[in-house]
Structure 1
Amino acid sequence: MTGGPGAALPVVIQGGMGVGVSGWRLARAVARTGQLGVVSGTALDVTLARRLQLGDPGGHLRRALACFPEPAIAGRVLGRYFVPGGIAPGTPYRPVPRLGLRPSRARDELAVVANFAEVFLAKQGHDGPIGVNYLEKIQLATPAAVFGAMLAGADYVLMGAGIPTEIPHLLDEFAAHRPAEIAVTVAGAGDDRHTVGLDPGALLPRPAEPWRRPKLLAIVSSHVLAAYLARSPRTRPDGFVVETPVAGGHSAPPRGRPLLDAAGEPVYGPRDEADLGKMSALGLPFWLAGGYGGPGGLARALAAGATGVQVGSAFALCRESGFDDALRRRLLRAASAGTLEVRNDPRASPTGFPFKVARMPGTLSEPEVHERRPRLCDLGYLRTPYVRPGGAIGYRCPAEPVEAYVRKGGTVGEAEGRQCLCNGLTAAIGLPQHRADGYREAALLTLGQDIAFLQGLPEDHSAADVVHRILRGAPGPTPGRAPTTGIPRDSSEERQQ
């Protein structure tokens, strides 16, 4: 199964989780089963730069960069970040250029190369489909990241945490090797339009034939938003992933007046449930996510008219996951024992969206660990551009020092309880920043709130185990479903590579 014209649609989509949790090894393992493997496209510039500074164990990134279509660009990235043998333990990583509205050739080159490398590695050794997942809220990163993924032949782009109205056109323009841009939300800008874009011709010679355009799947929580996107060819995606509030990572806030339960979590009601009949009436394929990874989940989704399911947490805890392995095993043990608590925290994310935080000693989920962390914003993916007095553009984040945030026009209330997702999620995959003063960034872990997915899985399961278990719960052959024969059951090859 591939993502080309006329290809069968996948029944199982592996969620694009966190920063690097859905890495190329996991996506490749899923795609080898014939289902859709997805890499997380969030902060790939940082993860590439840090892994190069660690010496690129195994040489995988250098192998990918050797295939980048413009060697001079790949060479500049290697020259800036690769450290033979790796930096000494405890050495701070070299920073990468932060996102901004002002053009930066070095920033664009790093983002393009990083997204190319992750998708390239995920696509090796099989003919299954590979997608890449982005957050719409990280608008400043989108054009360069998407272009890099397209260069590597990404079959799907999945986008949530916002309304991706401009992404279909962006994909169309890049496929035709034309410059493209998207609007950027700038606080206080009024009717002034700010944009960020990329000109493919400034990076690469024009290809003999257009690049293949990946399919776009919009991640939504309501049929109303899906109908809004489907109304026009310019905004219409190729399908939808419909997430319930229990899905991991960010979730949409409840509609209407916000209410919290006794545990301080958002209260969702009937208005927050997508009408699946109306989803079917749109005539576009859709997949259901959030609580569909357990036994019977696929059967329920198919009965509701869905094409299949998206599953995240079961893959996040499998052997090929990008989680730091010690953290992954601790999460798996807690989930298996029924002691794992995943809180839908309405305050943690600087975006203002509720965010699932898994409780684990020694991580930022513990108040004392969070309080020990010096507040700073040095990665800046979730910063908000704003208009400063005098008209210049500044950037602020509710997780930065409170005084600085208030000075930039924010409020103390907006900053209260905010976590640095950028550093916490990067630490969760074993790439924590070490500060010059000796502080080491602590991890922040996210999973979905429904752990029924563990039923029927081996103790230390693989991605193929997850796919097998999900497909066994289907009610029989379904049109468009990939065959389940020939799926590799043992992932020792994946662990070795």
Structure 2
Amino acid sequence: MGERARQVGSSPADARPVLIQGGMGVGVSGWRLARAVAMTGQLGVVSGTALDVTLARRLQLGDPGGHLRRALAAFPVPEIAERVLGRYFVPGGTAEGVPYRPVPRLGLRGSRARDELTVVANFAEVFLAKQGHDGPIGVNYLEKIQLATPAAAYGAMLAGADHVLMGAGIPAELPRLLDDLAEHRDGRVSVTVAGGEGHTVGLDPVALLGRRLPPLARPAFLAIVSSHVLALYLARSAATRPDGFVIETPVAGGHSAPPRGRMVLDPAGQPVYGPRDEADTAKVAALGLPFWLAGGYGTPGGLERALAAGAEGIQVGSAFALCRESGLDPALRRRLRRRAGLVRNDPLASPTGFPFKVAAVPGTLSEQDVYEARPRLCDLGYLRTPYEKADGSIGYRCPAEPVDVYVRKGRPAEEAAGRRCLCNGLLAAIGLGQHRADGYTEPPLLTLGQDTGFLTDLPDDHSAADVVAHILLGAHL
């Protein structure tokens, strides 16, 4: 076997992995899954999206097994962790049907309670993922959720995250942010505000912690992109250059970039992608930075194709989303596996305006009657867009909120048509759906990649290690 294969299974945290486990959804790529992948020597990745609310809700469920309390006990400033526990931990868990306590919503205005919760939550997830092995652990963020990025990244770095991955936008400011946070300097990123400019959000680590800690290890940064054009743009300057790229095709799960040019839909109402949407891997390889290919590569043959194109390896999402260490509710995971081939790239579902893969599973928001029965509301707000009002103040709007509210905020009703509340739907998919005081329970929303050929050769109840072994041992390396 070649040099690539010899490093498989025992890679130290600073080695380049052959496989990157996708940082999927809200809580799907949790610490258990990332840890299981890292124990094989490959790059395990936790999803950093909405970790504040997932931590808060799991504490309100009583923290079964005590894992979160164990992680919080290791936080370097105990009084901050104790405040988070005091706000959210319920010994024995809340009674069935009791609504979860809300968490502070993201916004441009500073909130110490929000920053403390975000930092602690990201610390806890990465801390738990890194226990009991020396494999690499990364954390995945969405560039579109800019308001959370500084605090989230700092919490992950405090726990020793080896990699930070970011997509769903143009992550040009991440290299500088990671540099600043590693030295505990005030780290800031720009925030896109409709109708305004010059807005930023940041975190002052010394002010938050009340002390200056020793410098942190600066994690490697991998930019998730869908085109060689964006890769070339990011690589042009040392200030924006990542340490590598993950290049995703449109069949990857979750969000995908819209087709270049005018949107054209096929008979099923899905965006049509063409040659302009295919990344030129030769141009990416010419940059001299390592890259991995994702979206339809999660098989032995896919790995071989990626290596032949000059890639270090592949990123695999859906095969890990369906494994038993996945954060998906187990019953939903089994139902999703049975219907894995029924995934639609919906151009309207996501409030972001990006196409989003929706799995057609009965009882979920993929069904029109379930969608229509859900009262529209926006009580989590991770995908809200800040906008500048006529008086110069900042407001927030989301196409998935009540239509009349959205219209009052200056947008046309047509933009709200068909939008799903991803925030609540994805939390419900991992068993953390909100229970309303009137008895209403949030329905789940499931996503998966559109290429499910990997399932053919995996056991029905496969593990993360099964996925790694199937791909690596089956490839002719």
**Which TM bucket (shorter chain)?**
over 0.9
- 1:295, 1:455 within 8 Å by CA — same for their partners in 2? no
In structure 2, how many angstroms separate the alpha carbons of the residues matched to 1:177 and 1:18?
29
Q: Normalization by structure 1: what TM-score? A: 0.93
Q: Secondary structure at the match of 2:119?
A: helix
Number of equivalenced pairs: 468
- Structure 1 consecutive aligned stretches of length 4 or more whose deviation exceeds 3 Å: 1-4, 205-209
Letter in 2 for 1:165: A
User: Which residue matches 1:228?
Assistant: 233
Letter in 2 for 1:29: A
Q: Secondary structure at the match of 2:209?
A: coil
- 1:399, 1:415 within 8 Å by CA — same for their partners in 2? yes
User: Which residue matches 2:96?
Assistant: 89
Q: Deviations over 1:429-470 (max 9, x none)?
A: 000100111110000000000001112111110000000011
Letter in 1 for 2:151: A
Deviation, structure 1 residue 475: 2.3
Indicate yes or no: 2:298 matched with 1:298.
Answer: no
User: Which residue matches 2:69?
Assistant: 62
User: Which residue matches 2:361?
Assistant: 360
Indicate yes or no: 2:51 matched with 1:50.
Answer: no
Letter in 1 for 2:124: A
Q: Deviations over 1:105-160 (max 9, x none)?
A: 00000000000000000000000000000000000000000000000000000000
User: Which residue matches 1:256?
Assistant: 261
User: Which residue matches 1:197?
Assistant: 202
Deviation, structure 1 residue 61: 0.1
Letter in 2 for 1:130: I
- 2:307, 2:313 within 8 Å by CA — same for their partners in 1? yes
In structure 2, how many angstroms separate the alpha carbons of the residues matched to 1:292 and 1:390?
50
In structure 2, how many angstroms separate the alpha carbons of the residues matched to 1:46 and 1:426?
9
User: Which residue matches 2:339?
Assistant: 334
Q: Deviations over 1:253-288 (max 9, x none)?
A: 000111000000000000000001001001000000
Q: Secondary structure at the match of 1:288?
A: strand
In structure 2, how many angstroms separate the alpha carbons of the residues matched to 1:429 and 1:47?
9
Q: Deviations over 1:42-88 (max 9, x none)?
A: 00000000000000000000000000000000000000000000000
Deviation, structure 1 residue 206: 5.1
Deviation, structure 1 residue 180: 1.3
Matched ranges for 1:159-308 at <5 A: 159-189=166-196, 192-204=197-209, 207=212, 209-308=214-313
Larger mean Cα displacement after TM superposition, 207-216 or 456-465 = 207-216
In structure 1, how many angstroms separate the alpha carbons of the residues matched to 2:300 and 2:231?
27
In structure 2, how many angstroms separate the alpha carbons of the residues matched to 1:314 and 1:238?
26
User: Which residue matches 2:48?
Assistant: 41
In 2 relative to 1, CA 286–168 (structure 1 residues): closer, same or farther, beyond 3 Å?
A: same
- 1:298, 1:473 within 8 Å by CA — same for their partners in 2? no
- 1:3, 1:155 within 8 Å by CA — same for their partners in 2? no
In structure 2, how many angstroms separate the alpha carbons of the residues matched to 1:3 and 1:220?
26
User: Which residue matches 1:465?
Assistant: 466
User: Which residue matches 2:22?
Assistant: 15
- 1:294, 1:455 within 8 Å by CA — same for their partners in 2? no
In structure 2, how many angstroms separate the alpha carbons of the residues matched to 1:318 and 1:292?
17
Deviation, structure 1 residue 389: 1.6
Q: Secondary structure at the match of 2:264?
A: coil
User: Which residue matches 1:26?
Assistant: 33
Deviation, structure 1 residue 381: 0.1
Indicate yes or no: 2:384 matched with 1:416.
Answer: no
Matched ranges for 1:398-413 at <5 A: 398-413=399-414
Deviation, structure 1 residue 349: 0.3
In structure 2, how many angstroms separate the alpha carbons of the residues matched to 1:58 and 1:209?
32
Q: Normalization by structure 2: what TM-score? A: 0.97
Q: Deviations over 1:7-34 (max 9, x none)?
A: 3200000000010000000000000000
Deviation, structure 1 residue 331: 1.2
In 2 relative to 1, CA 128–250 (structure 1 residues): closer, same or farther, beyond 3 Å?
A: same
User: Which residue matches 2:5?
Assistant: none
User: Which residue matches 1:113?
Assistant: 120
Could you tell me which runs of 5 or more consecutive residues in structure 1 were left unpaired when the two chains were aligned: 477-497
User: Which residue matches 2:3?
Assistant: none
User: Which residue matches 2:317?
Assistant: 312
User: Which residue matches 2:376?
Assistant: 375
Letter in 2 for 1:364: L
In structure 2, how many angstroms separate the alpha carbons of the residues matched to 1:98 and 1:416?
24
User: Which residue matches 2:446?
Assistant: 445
In 2 relative to 1, CA 232–243 (structure 1 residues): closer, same or farther, beyond 3 Å?
A: same
User: Which residue matches 1:487?
Assistant: none
Deviation, structure 1 residue 224: 0.3
User: Which residue matches 1:488?
Assistant: none
Letter in 2 for 1:82: F
Deviation, structure 1 residue 207: 5.0
In structure 1, how many angstroms separate the alpha carbons of the residues matched to 2:40 and 2:141?
23
In structure 1, how many angstroms separate the alpha carbons of the residues matched to 2:214 and 2:201?
26
Letter in 2 for 1:287: W
Deviation, structure 1 residue 208: 5.8
User: Which residue matches 2:436?
Assistant: 435
- 2:184, 2:213 within 8 Å by CA — same for their partners in 1? no
Letter in 2 for 1:28: R
Could you tell me which runs of 5 or more consecutive residues in structure 2 were left unpaired when the two chains were aligned: 1-9
In structure 2, how many angstroms separate the alpha carbons of the residues matched to 1:179 and 1:111?
16
Letter in 1 for 2:46: V
- 1:295, 1:452 within 8 Å by CA — same for their partners in 2? no
- 1:243, 1:289 within 8 Å by CA — same for their partners in 2? yes
Deviation, structure 1 residue 3: 6.8
Letter in 1 for 2:77: E
Larger mean Cα displacement after TM superposition, 202-211 or 352-361 = 202-211
